[in-house]
Structure 1
Amino acid sequence: MSFSKITQVFHRTIFPIHFITPRVQRLRSPRSDLFQLSFSRTYYSPNPAYLELYEENERLKRERAEMLDGYNKFKALQKERQQPPWESSPKKQRITTQGTATLFAGKSIPIGKGHFDRIVNGGCTFIDKTSLIAEFIESNSDVSLVVRPRRFGKTTNLTMLKEFFSIPIYPDNENYRRELFRDTKITERSCLLDSHFCKYPVIFLSLKGFDHCDTWLEMRALLCAKLASLYKEHGYINDILDDCEKLRFSKIRSGDFESAVTIQSLEDLSQYLRTYHRRRCIVLVDEYDHPMEIAYRYQYYEEARGFFSSLFGALLKDNDKNLEKAFLVGVSRIAKSGYLSGLNNLNVFPMYVGKYATQFGFTEDEISILLQHCDKKERLNEVKEWYDGYRAGNGICLYNPWSINQFIDTNTLDAHWVDTGGTATIKKLLWYSTKDFKKKTLTLLKKGAIDVEILKDIDYNTLSPRASDVIWTILYYGGYLTMNEDKNLCIPNMEVFTEWKGWLNNRISSNPDTMLEMLLQCNLTKFEEELPTMLMESLSYLDTTDRDSESNYHFLMIGILSPVRYHNYELLSNREAGEGRFDVRIVPITENVVYPISIIMEFKVYKKNEKIIDNNEYGDEDEDKTERWLRKKSEGALAQIVEKKYRTGIKTTKLVECGIAFRGKRACVSSRVLRKEGDQWVEDS
């Protein structure tokens, strides 16, 4: 309503004083003296112009109240998230360099601290990985996906990117952020620092924590809670939204909203942030593949994939107006077949490519400088044996950061990484796989390498125990295998080998380590008793179409014996020696062994159509006949070791020989201990 119109109304109408707002009181008119009349002396006229003015006045009061409420909420959020003043303080770490590595040496190792700011502010020791920032900014990829094994520093790097790029809610926080990065490699790039430091709105979403969501409704509810938390983090943008947008914003922030709102929530947030900050967003997603793995495990994969495909498709595809760049990290490569299948602007960077090769995991230089700082440099060779072996692009060797930190903290060489979870899907598939898969597994357990194809993408719809290529791919991306210089796959180190052995041990009732020690200590009587018992309790998991297949028993025995390869013994199988091919032979590869002894084994397996009843040769009762057959075959296997001259090349002076016969879940062992006297082997009494 115009000023002249309001003046006309004042000339014609007498208003009660309790209707007058400060805005109206500031007006000057010939009848203004009437405004001071008491209510009893006023005259009310239902003039349409008066009603229009009254309604406008009420609307302005409501808007003012809403704006004040929004402002108060923003200030409360600001106070909760960032308590001023942000006083920058010098770093507590001391800088050390060696080769390409830069170490910020602090008072402790960051155990249980995955966020970059907590590590720096806590005075912890950390390796400078800030060159990742420049590599990400200068990348031509709009959407980058980095695939690395568990506990390889993905979360720490992602939170580092957030601290660097995100615009502070409280202005003085920029000085605090700058202190986080003081003296790091990225500060040497002054031009890049000026252009990108604290310059972008950032959407940071962690998709961890869905492990116990055994239904789609539970997963969706948890996702809604994560989105609500994300909206609360950016609650300051509420005052620039229109009424409809405020309603949607409020619904999402409450954590209770319908699917249609959820699917658009990330795209809408990117639009709101771009409007507020006048800059496009950077999107960071941690563990992008975790929900899909859980959905597959609990059999609601299709529902989850469809939903996440719509959610992230809206955010990352055809959203150039609001999206600057995106960086996603995870363990599995399910992008093209999973919920990112529609993204044409996505580039995937697994471990075997050069880009980002040194940004995740510790390099040789970084390990050397870290161990030196922690006074453990003399244990470098042991650390290499236990935790080295991952081969990245350009031939770079990497160590698992989690394992190294745990070793330094506990001063114990142990399988730290294998207890961190994430193997349920692998265990579900591994031991019900094909005969060819088990054959290749035997090669791995004997410290060999296998030639298999690593798929460029994993489709959970095709995942089954028969899909060996998919299982090998999952094992590679999960960190249970690595590529050697010939591009073949092998077990990277002692720590991971322990996990492989553990998978087998979980299916074996007796302790394989104890059974191996029985052989090395020449306690053959005990071994002959324990092996049949173990077979009876444990062999069912090896069943295949031909359950008595020799490869199954071979697989079992290699699993029991394989730990010797990490104790200076060589484990060989199906190799030529003398006049034939032995089944298993173990020999020391150095004089520095606890038990200077060799072991030769020969197996005999019941064939499906083989007759064991001829002229009552094996007795009258079926049970007795089977036992006699097993005993005769085991003795024959023991004799074959001598007949075929399998002892050829044995250099130790002590030797254990075992002939083992198998039928179904039953076994019989014939064994002996020999010592060398001159050129002759003599049975030890």
Structure 2
Amino acid sequence: MDFEKQSIGTEDFAEHIRTKKIYIDKTSYLPELYGEKVHPNGMRYEDKVLLITRPRRFGKSLTMSMIKNFFELNYANPKDKSNPKELFQNLAISKDQDFCDKYMGEYPVISISLRGINGTCFASAIGSFLFEIGRVYNQYSFILNSDILTEKEKSDFNYIIDISNQNDFDKWYETHKIDSSLKIKNSLFLLTYLLNKIYKKKCIVIVDEYDVPLQKATVENYYKEMLDVVRGMFEKVFKTNEYLEKGIVTGCLRISHESIFTGINNFSIYTVNDEGFNKFIGFTHDEVVELLQKQKLSSKENTVMKWYDGYNFSGARMLCPWSVLNYCESAGKADNLDEHIPGNYWINTSGNDIVDICLKHPDAQDSMRLQNLLDGNTEIIESSDFTSYPQINTETDFDTMMNMMLHTGYLTAVKTYSDRRLEVKIPNQEVLESFRERTKKVFSKQNTPWYEKVKSLKAALFNNDKDKVQTLINELLINFVSVRNTAQESYYQGFLSGVLSLTVDDPAELQSDTESGKGFSDLKIISDLKKNAIIIEFKKLEKGESFEDICAEALQQIEEKQYAYPYAQKNYRILKYGIGFYGKECWVATP
């Protein structure tokens, strides 16, 4: 009996099917992709070139491999369709016989991934770009045996392969800077021309992860140069290319049509906020329920949905395949399923620079909006297209950062307004845990400027420097956020006890909500070695109150409840602080 296997990270569709790995069937979307779906109004809509954006690890590459395997002809024997028939025989598309007869195994398909194109400078990035182009060209080296191509055409083809395998690329590049960029720009177009000439069929061109080179170029400061190359390549292959049957492009981020797809006619963009193809990439809720049943994990459905559900792609309830499959493998191997703990699989699949930058954003109002999201609430942001890949830094406006987080999977839209504003939230527990991990690092000893300021605050508290304490708390509050167990938990008490905990070696030195005198004081810092005791009481400013009044009330409570009594009995030096808070502002008073 054949058993299905589960595989995580497999991006080769043919290998996936032949080795009987579990596959969530998305083949029913192929007619829509090709403009053959009849919509409720009786119309069909065809896109010549499509850009489909989804967050990382949602299965874009495997989906593109599936498309390639369905449409690609047998170059050695174009009439032989046995390969795609074998691969798709048990999948949904096989039931649409007319579509299969018309399109299966009918086209040359060129597929390239730009994921690996990077470099610390433009020259090294061009080198990796040429290497990837050469790898694609090598897949079609058999066309050199064709009598249909001229010697000049074969020479042009060979030249691409030769320059992609330079032994001393840096030396070669010094004298071929312009030529190398031109060859990249022309490479996909040239291949469509050559394949069309031999097979008399137009080509399908797939470009996966188109925005990765632009993202990396932004970080390394050669964005304009890389944009020129990518845009030039797209213009050649997708704009008025008579050898093009269809173009399919994927990525995480939508960069505006005018910026990178200039002049490409019949070009359509499908993001996480568009209804078209909203269930095509990623797992739907129903697909995950079925998957759990298949793996005898239905008892963990609520856990899976709490941790990994929550993405809303224009009305479609979606989950990240990477997270779900990792959970299924981990839970499936567990000796005791009842004690199995869900994992955070998504956070380790890419960098978290944008989260760290957002957490350090020096704007009190924005910090409060982020805290509201971390508390499980929603925020309304302005939806925007990016005219270029954003240079994300601490000066970037909040809405731009939130749009980046939306497209990269840290947020999801729960409502779209008529004026294109979006109501967004953190989708699930896994992403919330990602934020928790990042806040631990950003607001920790690892962040030297932050830690030095916290140490100064502790010193100011022991020095009874009220004004400095107030200044430092206000500075720290500006961008501090935390992942709290409940939104009702004392934010300010948690804030100050959390930051001061970084400075103590003995946990007993810092005491929060502990019994003292006739009640429970908010916060105490006790130094038995120096015989010092700091007593802090917090008050939140309410409407109609003043900072002076609530701070005086806090100091009065310290006296009435005799919080300092146990330490006075030991002849400790006692320092008392009444601290009032409102939003991202505080006021400090002493007796």
Same fold? TM cut 0.5: yes
Counterpart contact for 1:601–1:660, Cα < 8 Å: no
Counterpart contact for 2:415–2:424, Cα < 8 Å: no
- The 2-side partners of 1:641 and 1:285 are apart by 66
Q: Which amino acid aligns with 2:151?
A: D
Equivalent residue runs for 1:10-25 within 5 Å: none
Cα 1:583–1:175, aligned 2, differ >3 Å: closer, same or farther? closer
Unaligned runs of 5+ in 1: 1-91, 94-105, 513-530, 538-545, 575-581, 585-596, 604-623, 644-657, 671-685
Cα 1:452–1:198, aligned 2, differ >3 Å: closer, same or farther? same
Cα 1:151–1:234, aligned 2, differ >3 Å: closer, same or farther? same
- The 2-side partners of 1:130 and 1:203 are apart by 19
Counterpart contact for 2:551–2:587, Cα < 8 Å: no
Which of 252, 255, 274 is the equivalent residue of 1:334?
255
Percent identity among equivalent residues? 24
Which structure has the bigger radius of gyration?
Answer: 1
Which of 406, 410, 424 is the equivalent residue of 2:326?
406
Equivalent residue runs for 1:112-511 within 5 Å: 112-138=9-35, 139-171=45-77, 174-211=81-118, 213-238=119-144, 239=146, 240-256=148-164, 258-319=180-241, 321-336=242-257, 338-393=259-314, 395-411=315-331, 412-425=341-354, 427-428=356-357, 431-460=360-389, 463-464=392-393, 465-485=395-415, 487-509=422-444
Cα 1:511–1:224, aligned 2, differ >3 Å: closer, same or farther? closer
Cα 1:270–1:583, aligned 2, differ >3 Å: closer, same or farther? closer
SS at match of 1:451: strand
The worse-fitting range, judged by mean Cα deviation, of 135-144 and 454-463 is: 454-463
Counterpart contact for 1:336–1:457, Cα < 8 Å: no
Counterpart contact for 1:602–1:660, Cα < 8 Å: no
How far apart are 1:200 and its partner, in Å? 0.4
Give per-residue Cα distances to partners, 1:584-643, cap 9 Å, x unaligned: 9xxxxxxxxxxxx9999989xxxxxxxxxxxxxxxxxxxx9xx99x86776975954997
Q: Which amino acid aligns with 1:305?
A: L
- The 2-side partners of 1:209 and 1:198 are apart by 28
Counterpart contact for 1:147–1:350, Cα < 8 Å: yes
Give per-residue Cα distances to partners, 1:550-605, cap 9 Å, x unaligned: 4842753x41xx2414xxx754769xxxxxxx999xxxxxxxxxxxx9999989xx
SS at match of 2:442: coil
Cα 1:490–1:461, aligned 2, differ >3 Å: closer, same or farther? closer
Unaligned runs of 5+ in 2: 36-44, 165-178, 332-340, 417-421, 448-452, 460-469, 497-511, 515-519, 524-529, 540-549, 558-576
Cα 1:484–1:229, aligned 2, differ >3 Å: closer, same or farther? same
Cα 1:669–1:495, aligned 2, differ >3 Å: closer, same or farther? farther
How far apart are 1:348 and its partner, in Å? 0.8
Counterpart contact for 1:335–1:341, Cα < 8 Å: no
Which of 477, 482, 487 is the equivalent residue of 1:553?
477
How far apart are 1:136 and its partner, in Å? 0.5
Match of 2:506 in 1: none
Cα 1:632–1:491, aligned 2, differ >3 Å: closer, same or farther? closer
- The 2-side partners of 1:413 and 1:534 are apart by 39
Counterpart contact for 1:227–1:255, Cα < 8 Å: no
Give per-residue Cα distances to partners, 1:75-105, cap 9 Å, x unaligned: xxxxxxxxxxxxxxxxx87xxxxxxxxxxxx
- The 1-side partners of 2:445 and 2:370 are apart by 21
Give per-residue Cα distances to partners, 1:272-327, cap 9 Å, x unaligned: 111111111111111010000000011110110111111111111111x1111111
Counterpart contact for 1:583–1:602, Cα < 8 Å: no
- The 2-side partners of 1:501 and 1:311 are apart by 41
How far apart are 1:433 and its partner, in Å? 4.8
How far apart are 1:124 and its partner, in Å? 1.1
Match of 2:172 in 1: none
Counterpart contact for 2:149–2:198, Cα < 8 Å: no
Give per-residue Cα distances to partners, 1:639-679, cap 9 Å, x unaligned: 54997xxxxxxxxxxxxxx97689xxxx9999xxxxxxxxx
Q: Which amino acid aligns with 1:113?
A: T
Q: Which amino acid aligns with 2:33?
A: F
SS at match of 1:564: coil
Cα 1:421–1:448, aligned 2, differ >3 Å: closer, same or farther? same
Cα 1:350–1:598, aligned 2, differ >3 Å: closer, same or farther? farther
Q: Which amino acid aligns with 1:185?
A: A
TM-score w.r.t. length of structure 1: 0.63
How far apart are 1:169 and its partner, in Å? 2.6
Q: Which amino acid aligns with 1:110?
A: S
Match of 1:45 in 2: none
Cα 1:490–1:269, aligned 2, differ >3 Å: closer, same or farther? same
SS at match of 2:84: helix
The worse-fitting range, judged by mean Cα deviation, of 432-441 and 273-282 is: 432-441
SS at match of 1:391: strand
Provide the aligned length of Structure 1 versus Structure 2: 476
- The 2-side partners of 1:425 and 1:237 are apart by 45
How far apart are 1:346 and its partner, in Å? 1.9
Cα 1:511–1:659, aligned 2, differ >3 Å: closer, same or farther? farther
- The 1-side partners of 2:555 and 2:357 are apart by 39
Cα 1:461–1:113, aligned 2, differ >3 Å: closer, same or farther? closer
TM-score w.r.t. length of structure 2: 0.72
Q: Which amino acid aligns with 1:396?
A: A
Over the aligned positions, Cα root-mean-square deviation in angstroms equals 3.9
How far apart are 1:354 and its partner, in Å? 1.1
- The 2-side partners of 1:113 and 1:460 are apart by 28
- The 2-side partners of 1:158 and 1:490 are apart by 29
How far apart are 1:462 and its partner, in Å? 6.2
- The 1-side partners of 2:456 and 2:205 are apart by 53
The worse-fitting range, judged by mean Cα deviation, of 160-169 and 427-436 is: 427-436
- The 1-side partners of 2:437 and 2:258 are apart by 31
SS at match of 1:126: coil
How far apart are 1:269 and its partner, in Å? 0.9
- The 1-side partners of 2:276 and 2:195 are apart by 30
Match of 1:12 in 2: none
- The 1-side partners of 2:297 and 2:552 are apart by 48
How far apart are 1:399 and its partner, in Å? 0.7
Q: Which amino acid aligns with 1:372?
A: Q
SS at match of 1:118: helix
Give per-residue Cα distances to partners, 1:123-168, cap 9 Å, x unaligned: 1112111012112111421111111000101011000000000111
